[in-house]
Structure formats: C-alpha cells, structure tokens
Amino acid sequence: MLAMAPPRRRAGAAYSGAHQGSGLPQGIAVNDPAALDDSEFRSRLDPAGMGRVVHALPDQCREAWTEAQRFSPPGERGAIRRFVILAMGGSAIAGDLFRALLGAERGVPVANHRDYSAPVGLDARTLLVACSVSGDTEETLSAFQGGMDGPGPKLAITMGGRLLALTRERGVAAFTFAFTGKPRSALGWCLMPLVRVAQAQGMWPDADRDVAEAVAAMAGLRDRIGADVPRDRNPAKQLAARLAGRMPVVFGAEILGEVARRWKIQFNETAEVWAAHETVPEASHNALVGYALPRGVASATTALLLRAPGEHPRLALHFEHHRRTLADAGVECLEVPLPGGGPLARAMTGVLMGDFVAHYLALLNGVDPSAIRPIDALKRRLRDASQGA
C-alpha cells in the first residue's frame, strides 16, 4: 500500500532554493531527493520544527479529543439542527472536513462561511461557530460580531486573542487550547471540539470509536512515511520527489474531495508552490475538457488522484476516464492510494499523507516550511490600514 515508482529525473526540476549555500552538510543539494534522509539537512531547512508538528498530528488529535470530552458544548441535546462555521485559511480546514463528515455522511446541514459579513438565515436551532486559532482573524471576528445578536447558540474555538475576549464579554461558550505552530497545523484542536458538539447532540453516537480508529490509522501510516523512514521505503518522500519542479493538481471524491483541498493548501503554504484541487465527479462535467491547454501548463503539471477503499463504485469509472484524458493531454498523472476505514479515518490519514508530502517538498524546494511571508505581509498591511483609518 502507498507504494510508488522511483522519482524520474527531469530537466529543469532543480530549484535554486532560499537556503542554497547556507551551511548545509557538504555534498547535499537542496533539490536532491536523497537529502530527505539526512537529518542534518532536514533540521537546517526547518528551524521552527514543522516536521515535528506534522509527525505529532495523531497525538494532537488524541489529546484534543480527550480535552473535548471535558468540554460542555452549548445547546441542550437535540436543540441544534444546523451548523454555520466562520473561519479562514488554516483555521477553516476543520470546518471543511466537518461539513463533509457530518453533512454528507449523516445528513446534518453544515455551512462554511469565509467572509467579513455576517451569515444570513441564522435561527434558534443553528449553532454559529467562530474558529480562529490565533483569535485575531479579522474576517472571522467581523462575521462573528455581526451574527452575535442573532438567535441560536454560539461557540468559539480559539487559543485566545480578540475572539476569546469577545466571548468573555458576551458570555459565549469557548473551547480554548494551547498550541505551538501554524494555524493550519492545529487541525486536531479545531476539528475535535466540532465532533464533540455533534456527539453531544446525538448526531454522532459512534464518535469515540471513530476517533480511536482514526488516531490508530494515522499512527500506523506515520510509521510508514515519517522522516526516519528511508526514501526507498517511504512513499511520501517518493511522491515529493516526483513533484519537484511541478504544479500539483489534486483530485478527490467524497470525503477525499475535502482532503484534496487540504493538500492544495499545504502545497501553497508549506512548499510554496502554486497548486489546485478538483472534486470528482464534479470535475467530470467541466475540468475534464481543459487539460491540454495551455500546453506549457499541461506539460509542467502533475495530477494526483487520491483513492481509498470504500468509495462509490461508479467513481472508479470517472477516475479511469480522467486518467486517460490527462495522459492524452500530456499531463503526468499519479494515483495515490490511501488507507481505508471509516470516513473520519480516511479523512485524517489522507490529511497526514498530504502534510508529510508537502513538508518533504518544501525541503526539496529549499524553503522554510513554517514561513508564510506573503500572508504575513498582507496582515501587516491590513493592520496598518486599520490604524491609519
């Protein structure tokens, strides 16, 4: 499972890299896949320890679920019939997965709201959730403040900041946690309290079993793709090597459609590459037509088809047709088999695989996997504009 062919050498696949010539071990090149097995190379390019955070995601989920069990969610049992989740960026990923897990799998309406404006249509049976790891995401704060006086229960998921201050001022429930790392790496802390709310409402009666299955599956996968596993036996390192110098487009169906979005985000923020994602079967009604042009983009793109046992049987026909059409268009296409299990286990093992691949690709690109300089620059500009207004 998860076996992949050895990486191919390509002209133009090398990166100059932000860390070239910065005291790396002698004989190690940034774009050399063999460097991924060198612990000194990894530590030099990852001064903030993002690799350790990725490695710890199964443990984070276990700890977050334990803490969520101690939390008393708002709303009496049966009082909530709908969720609206306010979040942006890394803090929003949990809401995307939760929508697929609770909505598609259990028929509970979940809406994800990424905007400054307050969501419309809130009622007494809608739980309004603001999720911001930092507590200072201005879009989330604006939308939450706008919906604060509406009917229905409210909940914040945060480490602190202005969001926590607002909940205390208005007497709103808050699930708080301590975490060191980027918001996108706090997925367990953002997702598990949502699962806990669904459990408390009777919407997810098997949550304990499903979380335990997911954590165990993640830990088992980590044993096969972690940093200490050599590249010749490590499919995540092999896949990262295949992606060096390429634009990844990630395809997924059902719950793996949201996992594909997570992969895209991780490629952007961690590996600093342009990436895209598509969901199947929707992509069969539009994206399928446009693979060949522009030719320069097609020849530099690698399509990744995320697959796992348990998908709808008709999806195999869709994926096979996409694979053939991509090949005819000159687009490299790789199928990425992921572990099976229940929906939560499939989602979280898929996330973990993508997080490791993006981390290894960042190292091959010669970039710090924790740095998000363009996003930091925008936040400074927004802050400066607010102070000058």
Q: For residue 20, is pLDDT > 70?
A: no
pLDDT in tens, 258-302: 999 999 999 999 999 999 999 999 999 999 999 999 999 999 999
- Could you give the percent of the chain with pLDDT greater than 70? 92
Evaluate whether 284 touches 338 at the Cβ level (below 8 Å): no
Q: Residue 217 above 60 pLDDT?
A: yes
The larger pLDDT score, comparing residue 5 to residue 36, is at 36
Residue 280 burial (10 A CB sphere; 0-12, 13-18, 19+): buried
| pLDDT band at residue 30 under the 50/70/90 scheme | low
Which runs of E-coded beta strand occur in 117-225? Answer: 126-132, 154-158, 173-176
Residue 79 Cα distances to 29, 69, 154, 316, angstroms: 58, 19, 12, 40
Average pLDDT over residues 190-197: 98
Q: What are phi and psi of 363, to 5 degrees?
A: -65, -40
Average pLDDT, the chain: 91
- The model's pLDDT over 292-345, given as tens digits with 9 standing for 90+, comes to 999 999 999 999 999 999 999 999 999 999 999 999 999 999 999 999 999 999
The pLDDT tens digits for 89-103 are 889 999 999 999 998
By residue count, the chain amounts to: 389
How far is residue 198's CA from residue 204's CA, in Å, rounded to a whole number? Answer: 5
- Strand-pair partners of 155: 129, 173
Average pLDDT over residues 157-177: 97
Nearest of 98, 103, 100 to residue 81 by alpha carbon: 103
- pTM given for the model: 0.90
Q: For position 35, what pLDDT does the model report?
A: 92
Spatial neighbors of 24 by CB under 8 A, at least 6 apart, are 30, 40, 41, 44, 45
How far is CA 125 from each of CA 24, 128, 241, rounded to the nearest angstrom?
A: 57, 10, 49
The three-state secondary structure class of 163 is helix
The Cα 261–Cα 254 span in angstroms is 12
Structure token pair of residue 80: 């909530």
Q: d(Cα 240, Cα 360) in Å, to the nearest integer?
A: 6
Q: Which amino acid is at 126?
A: T
Report the percent of the chain where pLDDT is more than 90.
83
194-219 mean pLDDT: 97
